[in-house]
Amino acid sequence: MPRIRAASVAEHRDQTMTRLLDAFEAALEEEGFAEITLAGVAERAGIARNTVYNYAKDKQALLVAAVRRAMLAVLADLDAQTDVAVSAEEQLLAVIDRLLADFSGGAPRLLVLQALQGSLLAGPGEAEVPRLDSRIEDIVRRGIETGEFRPSSDVALTVAMMAGAAEAAVRALSRGDRSLAHITREVKTVLLRAVRA
């Protein structure tokens, strides 16, 4: 039986999951998803290989958990901005700043792309991955209601097109031939033109 070095079993499980996800993200950045093994993740996390299965059935489940963790952090930032009553435009720009900064700061590219696309599905028994696109839809709808943004007959389609522009920005950033500041400025211009009144 492993020794628990936390105040409770729940805290121990949280700490272990954090170590696993940190190790998984490091492996994803260095090796790519196809090369990752649960044994390698366990070794990086400093835990027994069979312990991993108490937290995730396979590497796809770890990917879902990593994306979920990243999305919860972004959504917490959005919630904090809502609490201080910033404009819809400021909220939208903050989302772009956060995603591109996370990407350029070494966050695994796949996690950022999944966050933009909202396409990763949790398996049975796994926690749902929050979707950023639905939150952006909320921001756009609020902007329409307040008159900041132009009316739209299909907000979901508008947001899907905006996500395509943001994804193109991430891909441009990954090529490394343009600066973060330049790409961020350009994608913000494109997104604001898509929604401004």
Mind listing the pLDDT tens digit for each residue in 65-94?
887 887 787 778 777 766 666 899 998 998
Higher pLDDT: 125 or 80? It is 80
Q: Is it true that domain 1-55 has CATH number 1.10.10.60? A: yes
* Structural fold of domain 66-195: Tetracycline Repressor; domain 2 (1.10.357)
How high is the pLDDT of residue 115? 57
3-44 pLDDT tens trace: 667 678 888 899 999 999 999 989 987 887 889 999 999 999
DSSP class of residue 6 equals S
Interatomic CA distance for residues 144 and 133, integer angstroms:
16
pLDDT of residue 1: 47
Quick one: average pLDDT of 130-156? 90
- Determine whether 179 is exposed, middle or buried from the number of CB atoms within 10 Å of its CB (0-12, 13-18, 19+): exposed
In this prediction, residues 160-188 reach a mean pLDDT of 87
What share of the chain in percent tops pLDDT 90?
A: 39
The whole-chain average pLDDT of the chain stands at: 82
Q: Which residues contact 179 (CB under 8 A, 6 or more apart)?
A: none
d(C-alpha 172, C-alpha 149), whole Å: 27
Task: For residue 40, count other CB atoms closer than 10 A to its CB.
Answer: 16
Residue 190 scores a pLDDT above 90 = yes
Cα–Cα–Cα angle for 49, 51, 57, rounded to 5 degrees: 90
Residues of 93-109 as b/e, b for ≥16 C-beta within 10 angstroms? Answer: bbbbebbbebbbeebbb
pLDDT, position 194? 93
Percentage above 70 pLDDT, the chain = 80
* pLDDT score of 137: 92
SS3 readout for 146-190: HCCECCCCCHHHHHHHHHHHHHHHHHHHHHCCCCHHHHHHHHHHH
Rg of the chain taking only CA atoms, in angstroms: 19
How many whole angstroms separate alpha carbon 175 and alpha carbon 109? 12
What's the pTM value of the predicted model, to 2 decimals? 0.68
Domain ranges across the chain? 1-55, 66-195
